[in-house]
Amino acid sequence: MSLVEHIIAGKPTTGSTDARAPIFNPATGAQSGEVVLGGAADIDAAVANSLEAGKAWAATPPAKRAAVMFSLREVLKRRADEVARTISLEHGKTHDDALGEVTRALEVVEYAAGITEKLKGEFSRNVGPGIDTCSDRQPLGVVAGITPFNFPAMVPLWMIPMALATGNSFVLKPSERDPSSANLVHDLFEEAGLPAGVLNVVHGGKEAVDALLDHRDVRAVSFVGSTPIAEYVYTRGCAAGKRVQALGGAKNHMIILPDADLDQAADALMGAGFGSAGERCMAISVAVPIGEETADRLVEKLTPMVRSMKIGPHDDGEAQMGPVITREAQQRIERMISAGEGEGAEVLVDGRGLRLQGYEDGFWVGGTLLDRVTPDMTVYKEEIFGPVLSVLRSNSYDQAVDLINSHEYGNGTAIFTRDGDAARDFASRIQVGMVGVNVPIPVPVAYHSFGGWKRSIFGAHGIYGPEAVHFYTRLKTVTTRWPTGIRSGAQFNFPSMN
């Protein structure tokens, strides 16, 4: 049975505590290993190493930091299958899905490799008599990331390349449910030439999180997870004087107008609703067809598609969806389905009680389709984070827009239509951070930035892209004048060009 350790100063260590947590293979339900759980002492050691190693790293020319990112790109491409296998064994997602995660991570690495252009300052000559002004973006120091189980390689690689390329050092606290991917990410950086100690990995639970949030030498914290924890991280981190970006939960809707291509919409809902067993913050969990006729036609198409979906372990090449992450997640999702049924939703396809031959003890939930869901139901109000697609019928487009705008979450949304006027109006009026028009999962490419609105994010900056450059750096502006032999005497009025 494997033991996943911390990595501090480039070396594995069991750390300061005897605490351990089990790691499971979600497909079989069997324990596959353990992960050490660190405490405040381990965070102290990691931060101290990042602080020391970060001095030389911050002084490294941006072009040389970019060279590490170029090297990382090649390492990640060469080892993509290995990374995907590591993800799947502990998360459960299919191999192709895991490879997609690696590909999206690679895009951020490529963006970080162009950091030299993004760190260029500005210069203005003669802003006053003999006075010049220049501005510069400088690193913060030690920064930290607290990352979720659902993308155990991609989310760390959304944070770390941008933080390091801008000159910071990094402490990563990954999910303890699938921790091996985080250690592999560290090894990829090491192979790419990153100096030891610039990136440290500490595993753990709340004690480790609190130690990071409270540590005086940690200048910024980036978090991705549930909304209650995001709000906690943001509140506690800000109280400790840190810069914090905390991305939380979601309830993503997709409006289907009567003129939409329903075959295209149904295909989109299948992938967006059930890919990665619905364990995505950008999953579409609510379909909102406009009008009863549109709803009936959509449901007629979706029902056999959900019922025939191929579910299996990650190494089944025909599997379209794998298990959920834990037994607790399985039970919670099934309770949510039962709650929806009890509150009046029609269960058209029921994923409860699924057992696969040879994998009877795995954490399986089948694809579930609920019809005639209403806004007062628990399955609508709360994030399910599982393979459950709800159909909420709307009488009009305006009613659907108001429905989405009134929800507490504002992460992602989509509209399927052939009407350009409706699509333009939707993109303008909708109170959501990421919008798709005939695109079901509108995750921005790496040279834009990812981030929701409302209670889907706490903090001013989105993750990766241009927003990350601003999050991981601070602005310094320098105004200079060299002696010219002209003396004008003391001036007591506020300085100006005059």
pLDDT over 90 for what percent of the chain?
96
Calculate mean pLDDT across residues 469-488: 88
Domain with CATH 3.40.605.10 in the chain: 2-248+456-478
Query: Residue 497 has what pLDDT?
Result: 63
Calculate mean pLDDT across residues 119-129: 92
493, amino acid identity? N
Instruction: Decide if pLDDT at 278 tops 80.
Output: yes
Q: How far apart are the first and last CA of the chain?
A: 75
Calculate mean pLDDT across residues 468-476: 97
Which listed CATH number (3.40.309.10, 2.60.40.1180, 3.40.50.2300, 3.90.25.10) goes with 252-437? 3.40.309.10
Domain with CATH 3.40.309.10 in the chain: 252-437
Instruction: Decide if pLDDT at 358 tops 70.
Output: yes
Query: Residue 486 has what pLDDT?
Result: 64
What b/e readout covers 331-354, taking b as 16+ CB neighbours within 10 angstroms? Answer: eebbebbeebbeeebeebbbbbeb
φ, ψ dihedrals at 299, nearest 5°: -60, -40
What secondary structure letter does DSSP report for 386? S
Q: If we measure between CA atoms, which residue out of 396, 307, 390, 377 comes closest to residue 349? A: 307
Structure tokens at 243: 């810069």
What secondary structure letter does DSSP report for 409? E
Query: Residue 498 has what pLDDT?
Result: 63
pLDDT in tens, 130-162: 899 999 999 999 999 999 999 999 999 999 999
Partners of residue 434 on adjacent β-strands: 412
Calculate mean pLDDT across residues 48-71: 98
HSE of 257, CA atoms in CB hemisphere, 13 A: 18
Alpha-carbon gap, residue 377 to 346, rounded angstroms? 12
Partners of residue 143 on adjacent β-strands: 170, 220
Q: pTM to 2 decimals?
A: 0.95
Instruction: Decide if pLDDT at 493 tops 90.
Output: no
Instruction: Decide if pLDDT at 14 tops 80.
Output: yes
pLDDT in tens, 389-440: 999 999 999 999 999 999 999 999 999 999 999 999 999 999 999 999 999 9
HSE of 65, CA atoms in CB hemisphere, 13 A: 28
Structure tokens at 183: 């250690």
Alpha-carbon gap, residue 264 to 436, rounded angstroms? 14
Instruction: Decide if pLDDT at 344 tops 90.
Output: yes
* pLDDT band, residue 483 (cuts 50/70/90): confident
Alpha-carbon gap, residue 19 to 204, rounded angstroms? 9
Q: If we measure between CA atoms, which residue out of 437, 348, 442 comes closest to residue 391? A: 348
Domain 2-248+456-478 class?
alpha beta
Q: If we measure between CA atoms, which residue out of 31, 199, 133, 41 comes closest to residue 477? A: 133
Output the average pLDDT for the chain: 96
Instruction: Decide if pLDDT at 489 tops 90.
Output: no
pLDDT in tens, 193-250: 999 999 999 999 999 999 999 999 999 999 999 999 999 999 999 999 999 999 999 9
**For the chain, give me the number of helices (H) and strands (E)?**
16, 23
Instruction: Decide if pLDDT at 485 tops 70.
Output: no
Structure tokens at 473: 């750096």
106, amino acid identity? L
45: helix, coil or strand?
helix
Catalytic residue set: 281
Calculate mean pLDDT across residues 449-477: 96
- 245: which residues sit within 8 A by CB, 6+ positions away? 220, 221, 222, 223, 451, 457, 458, 459, 460, 461, 462, 463, 471
* pLDDT band, residue 490 (cuts 50/70/90): confident
Q: If we measure between CA atoms, which residue out of 400, 394, 450, 453 comes closest to residue 422? A: 400
Alpha-carbon gap, residue 405 to 429, rounded angstroms? 9
Instruction: Decide if pLDDT at 271 tops 70.
Output: yes
Q: If we measure between CA atoms, which residue out of 299, 373, 384 comes closest to residue 341? A: 373
